[in-house]
Chains A and B, each alone.
Chain A
Amino acid sequence: MTDKKLLMGNEAIALGAIEAGVQVVTGYPGTPSTEALETIIRYADRCGIYTEWSSNEKVALETAVGAAYSGAKAFVTMKQVGLNVASDPLMSLSYIGIKGALVLLVADDPGPHSSQTEQDTRAFGHFANIPVLDPASPQEAYELTKLAFELSHEFEIPVILRTTTRVSHSCGDVEVAAAEPAPVEASCEGFVRDRRWTIFPRLTAERHPWLERVQVQLSERFSGLSCNSVSGSGKIGIIASGVSALYANEAFRGFEGLFTIFRVGTVYPFPEKAALTFLKGIDSLIVVEELDPYLEEQVLQLLGKAHLPVDVYGKKNGFFPVSGEYNVDIVIDGINKVLAGLGGALRLSHASPAVSREKLPPLPIRAPTLCAGCMHRTVFYAFKQAAKQLKKDFQADTIFSGDIGCYTLGNAYPLNMVDTCLCMGAGVSIAGGLFRTNPEAKHVAFIGDSTFFHSGIPALINAVYNGADITLAVLDNRTTAMTGHQPHPGIGITALGSVSKAIDIADIARSCGVGFVKAIDTDSLGSCLEAAKEAMKFEGPAVIVFKGKCVGITKSDKRYNIESEDCTGCGFCVKQLGCPALFLPAGEDKPFIQGSCSGCGLCAQICPSGAIRIRG
Chain B
Amino acid sequence: MKYDILIAGVGGQGVVLASRILALAAMKAGLHVSTAETIGMSQREGSVSSHIRIGNEVSGSLIPVGQADLLLGFEPAETVRNLLFLRKSGKVLVNTHAVPPASKPPGSPDYDPAALLSFLNAHCPGILCFDFTELAEEAGTYRAANVAMLGAAAGTGVLPFSEETLQAVLDAEIPEKYRAVNRAAFEIAMKQISGIS
Contact A364 B111 (CB under 8 A): yes
Given the complex of chains A and B, what is the CA–CA distance between A467 and B107 in angstroms?
43
Given the complex of chains A and B, what is the CA–CA distance between A166 and B111 in angstroms?
31
Chain B residues contacting A482 (CB-CB under 8 Å) are 40-41
Question: Which of A4, A253, A361 has most chain B Cβ within 10 Å?
Answer: A361
Write the A1-41 contact mask toward B (1 if CB under 8 angstroms, else 0): 00010100000000000000000000000011000000000
Partner of A366, one of B40, B45, B87: B45
Contact B60 A247 (CB under 8 A): yes
Chain A residues contacting B124 (CB-CB under 8 Å) are 354-355
Q: For chain A, residues 335 to 391, give those with C-beta under 8 angstroms from any C-beta of chain B.
A: 350-355, 357, 359-371
Partner of A6, one of B27, B46, B111: B27
With A173-B27, A354-B66, A361-B80 known as contacts, the answer to whether A6 contacts B44 (CB < 8 A) is no
Given the complex of chains A and B, what is the CA–CA distance between A249 and B60 in angstroms?
9
With A355-B86, A409-B44, A580-B45 known as contacts, the answer to whether A363 contacts B103 (CB < 8 A) is no
Write the B2-36 contact mask toward A (1 if CB under 8 angstroms, else 0): 00000000111000000110011001000011111
Contact A365 B105 (CB under 8 A): yes
With A6-B20, A166-B36 known as contacts, the answer to whether A354 contacts B86 (CB < 8 A) is yes
Chain A residues contacting B11 (CB-CB under 8 Å) are 368
Chain A residues contacting B40 (CB-CB under 8 Å) are 31-32, 113-114, 482-483
Contact A366 B77 (CB under 8 A): yes
Nearest chain-B residue to A585 (Cβ)? B100
Chain B residues contacting A367 (CB-CB under 8 Å) are 46, 101-103, 105
With A328-B62, A414-B103, A583-B100 known as contacts, the answer to whether A360 contacts B41 (CB < 8 A) is no
Chain B residues contacting A172 (CB-CB under 8 Å) are 32-35, 61
Contact B37 A329 (CB under 8 A): no
With A6-B23, A361-B119, A586-B112 known as contacts, the answer to whether A250 contacts B61 (CB < 8 A) is no
Contact A113 B87 (CB under 8 A): no
Chain B residues contacting A243 (CB-CB under 8 Å) are 60-61
CB distance from B122 to the nearest CB of A (A): 10
Q: For chain B, residues 50 to 93, give those with C-beta under 8 angstroms from any C-beta of chain A.
A: 57-62, 64-67, 77-78, 80-81, 83-90
Contact B67 A351 (CB under 8 A): yes
Given the complex of chains A and B, what is the CA–CA distance between A414 and B11 in angstroms?
20
Contact B64 A351 (CB under 8 A): yes
Contact B44 A329 (CB under 8 A): no
Chain B residues contacting A586 (CB-CB under 8 Å) are 110-112
Write the A163-193 contact mask toward B (1 if CB under 8 angstroms, else 0): 0001001111100000000000000000000
Contact B83 A369 (CB under 8 A): no
With A364-B111, A578-B102 known as contacts, the answer to whether A114 contacts B41 (CB < 8 A) is yes
Nearest chain-B residue to A362 (Cβ)? B109
Contact A352 B66 (CB under 8 A): yes
With A350-B66, A368-B45 known as contacts, the answer to whether A363 contacts B77 (CB < 8 A) is yes
With A173-B33, A364-B111 known as contacts, the answer to whether A354 contacts B83 (CB < 8 A) is yes
Contact B44 A371 (CB under 8 A): yes
**A596 in the interface, Cβ–Cβ < 8 Å?**
yes
CB distance from A142 to the nearest CB of B (A): 14
Contact A350 B35 (CB under 8 A): no
CB distance from A180 to the nearest CB of B (A): 16
CB distance from B123 to the nearest CB of A (A): 5
Given the complex of chains A and B, what is the CA–CA distance between A130 and B103 in angstroms?
46
Contact A350 B64 (CB under 8 A): yes
CB distance from B24 to the nearest CB of A (A): 5
Given the complex of chains A and B, what is the CA–CA distance between A247 and B60 in angstroms?
6
**B104 in the interface, Cβ–Cβ < 8 Å?**
yes
With A171-B34, A354-B124 known as contacts, the answer to whether A368 contacts B90 (CB < 8 A) is no
**B142 in the interface, Cβ–Cβ < 8 Å?**
yes
Partner of A355, one of B36, B78, B123: B123
Chain A residues contacting B194 (CB-CB under 8 Å) are none
**B165 in the interface, Cβ–Cβ < 8 Å?**
no
Write the A557-593 contact mask toward B (1 if CB under 8 angstroms, else 0): 0000000000000000010001110010110000000
Contact A355 B83 (CB under 8 A): yes
Chain A residues contacting B19 (CB-CB under 8 Å) are 171
Question: Which of B23, B105, B109 has most chain A Cβ within 10 Å?
Answer: B105
Contact B105 A413 (CB under 8 A): yes
Chain B residues contacting A247 (CB-CB under 8 Å) are 60, 62
CB distance from B119 to the nearest CB of A (A): 6
Chain B residues contacting A354 (CB-CB under 8 Å) are 66, 83, 86-90, 123-124
**B175 in the interface, Cβ–Cβ < 8 Å?**
no
**B197 in the interface, Cβ–Cβ < 8 Å?**
no
Q: For chain A, residues 118 to 137, give those with C-beta under 8 angstroms from any C-beta of chain B.
A: 136-137
Q: What are 26 A-B interface contacts by the 8 Å CB criterion? A: A6-B24, A31-B41, A32-B40, A137-B58, A166-B60, A166-B62, A170-B61, A171-B19, A172-B33, A246-B60, A250-B60, A250-B64, A327-B60, A327-B62, A329-B64, A332-B64, A354-B87, A361-B80, A364-B100, A364-B109, A367-B101, A367-B102, A368-B11, A371-B44, A595-B142, A596-B12
In addition to A171-B34, A362-B109, A367-B101, 17 A-B residue pairs with Cβ atoms within 8 Å of each other are A6-B27, A6-B33, A32-B39, A137-B34, A166-B62, A171-B61, A172-B35, A173-B32, A329-B65, A351-B65, A354-B89, A366-B45, A366-B101, A367-B103, A369-B45, A369-B102, A414-B103
B: which residues have CB within 8 A of A? 10-12, 19-20, 23-24, 27, 32-47, 57-62, 64-67, 77-78, 80-81, 83-90, 100-112, 115-116, 119, 123-124, 142
